[in-house]
Copies of this chain bind each other. A is one copy, B any other.
């Protein structure tokens, strides 16, 4: 079995759709809890226009806070999403550890999300990724709507793979496929990752699924079988892209960790702490979050008792 690294994206992909703005102190408390629970990569936010997405207005401050000595465990990585050169510049200034950036394989989604078509966006993102790599930064590039689009419907795998080819040709080998619309289904997941690995067996694969149609954990299992190492998810199952057609939550972090621990993986993560933090998110937003473990409770203690 491959080693799994959890990448918490709840503070970005979880919060950006929420109307109630989360105060900086609350975000810090949640990130502290995530790091204490042993999550390896935590995405603190995105660098976007604060007037357009007020929820992300304090991303720079969050990085500044966690850049202070002793605030972040040595093994942890803090990632930030950048959409353009201005965002990259801000991220460089405030000490982002891992830059995430990507393009949508759906032209319609790409235009709605960034104002640019896929073709134009690929060139821009590759230039940004190369600049960040040159500055010795860790970089992950993604392809959104890789498994289907709420507007366009099916996305031909060739379209996704042509973007992968351009990433690989540019020397970028940490690649995430994002299922923005939640359209992915397990055999499709296995087949698309297998095609990438045929091109380059050493590429570092990441996945990002939404649970729109109930297949989030099934797709994670398919991704794990395919050799994917980095799993992006959101505490409580928060989230959804505001620029997609049917928005629904990310794969729920504590549900995924629970299922991994059931099979003897991710043992370094403190699941109880994750569940407590997810409960706090639910209290903050004052509603029931979609996660299953929040309702049913964990059963990993059965394994530990053996």
Q: Hey, which bits of chain A sit against chain B, CB under 8 A?
A: 148, 153-154, 182-183, 185-188, 211-218, 220-222, 246, 248, 252, 255, 258-259, 262-263, 291-293, 295-297, 299, 302-303, 305-306
Contacts and interface: CB of A to CB of B under 8 A. Distances in A.
Contact of A221 (B153, B222, B263, B297): B222
Identify the 3 closest CB pairs spanning chains A and B, nearest first.
Answer: A153-B302, A214-B292, A218-B218
Nearest to A248: B296
Contacts of A305: 153
Contacts of A218: 186, 215, 217-218, 220-221, 259
A142 B272 CA distance: 34
Which of A183, A252, A292 has most B Cβ within 10 Å?
A292
Contact of A296 (B187, B213, B291, B303): B213
Contacts of A211: 292
A158 to B, nearest CB: 15
Contact of A262 (B185, B216, B297, B306): B185
A252 B211 CA distance: 14
Nearest to A255: B214
Contacts of A220: 218
Contacts of A291: 214
A98 B147 CA distance: 40
Nearest to A150: B299
Contacts of A153: 299, 302, 305-306
